[in-house]
Amino acid sequence: MKKNTLNNIVLLVTSVIFSLLILELSFRFYLFGKDSFSIQKMNSVHQIGVAGILKTSEYPGVIFELKPNLNTYFKLSKFATNDEGLRDKHYDCLKPDDAFRIVVIGDSFTMPTGVDLEHSYHAVLEERLNEEQDEMDYQIINFGVGGYCLSQYVSVLKFKALDYLPDLILIGFCPENDHEILPEERGGKPFREKPIEYSFYTSFVINTLVRTINNYAYENYVNTKDFIALLNNDQLQNMDNQFSDFRAISEDLGIPVIIVYLHYIDNTGYSKLIESLAQKNNFYFENISKGFEGADVRKFRIYRTDRHPNEKAHKLFSDQIYNFFKEKNLLNNKLVTIHYHDSILK
């Protein structure tokens, strides 16, 4: 009798484990299709802090940056960096005479996350501009890194992007977290690289349940309430200070700044706040999210449980920025100054 009971328990446990395994594998296929069979790609579905692609930055205020010469996957997409640790092709710091340069600074939406580089909004825009004419070589250099906020944008511009002698500065402002003040800025522990998380061996069923709840709460909040209600005085003052720092650089060097509200969901109160800060500091401003009005936002995710914009969203981002550039005639402001980086550091 005892033996039969033990056998039944073993059979039950085995059946439960097998059922959970089938559920997990089926769910992975539902989310990721054939990629779910690749250990390498599934190990790339994790947060940037545990992806093994970040390192401590030597530049003040930058805090962390992408490792150079990467050749891996991140959130299923190919992920490579150049010698300087930029997710972009190589550009010489010395700008050719026929080049018009735009430096793009942003976070995970600009890096971008979960999208191959050639489908990012800045790469698509660069290709389109160069296909239209042969007289000018348009070079759009990507300094986006997932997890960055406004203060890091300023530091990246000062200590890295200006070395490339830009004619325009484009800030891809992401409303999700650009207002944040990082713990390192508040005097917390310095950035430390975390061990890599091999997500193939985690449960996507459980992770997805948590993220679905978070996504629903976030999107419901964005569509029904005002982001500003959650911003404290320190965050508001911080944004004002960082915009002022951008203005100082822009005025000192004569380089226009474009603030792009980069999302496919608009929160009117928050976008109006950013627009007012842009106007206060004499920046151009474009709210990209207006082009997605009335659309099903689920169609613009890299996959069902991740809000980062997919290729389709990046194409729409690029189209709207292109139209804005043409409308404002922003591509005819080529600087003749070739040595200005030292002036901003004095």
Which tokens sit at 29? Answer: 């296929």
Is pLDDT above 70 for 343? no
Q: How many CA atoms lie within 13 A of 40 on its CB side?
A: 6
The mean pLDDT of the chain is: 87
Q: Which residue has the tokens 């002698």?
A: 165
Residue 290 has a pLDDT of: 86
**Phi and psi angles of residue 83, each rounded to the nearest 5 degrees, phi first:** -60, -25
Model confidence, pTM: 0.88
Is pLDDT above 70 for 3? no
3-class SS of residue 101: strand
The region of weakest confidence among 85-94, 172-181, 219-228 is 219-228
Residue 112 has a pLDDT of: 97
CB-based contact 172:261 (threshold 8 Å): no
Is pLDDT above 60 for 221? no
d(CA 104, CA 57): 19
168 against 22, higher pLDDT? 168
Where does 149-256 show beta strands of DSSP type E? 168-173
Domains in the chain with CATH codes = 38-345 (3.40.50.1110)
Mean pLDDT of 195-207: 86
Is pLDDT above 70 for 235? yes
**Phi and psi angles of residue 36, each rounded to the nearest 5 degrees, phi first:** -65, -15
Residue 180 has a pLDDT of: 84
Residue 83 has a pLDDT of: 96
Q: Give the type of residue at 111.
A: M
Residue 184 has a pLDDT of: 72
Is pLDDT above 90 for 17? no
Angle subtended by helix axes 121-132 and 311-328, to nearest 10: 50
Residue 253 has a pLDDT of: 94
**Closest residue by Cα to residue 142 from 129, 155, 126, 158:** 126
Is pLDDT above 90 for 127? yes
For residue 40, name the pLDDT band (cuts at 50, 70, 90). very high
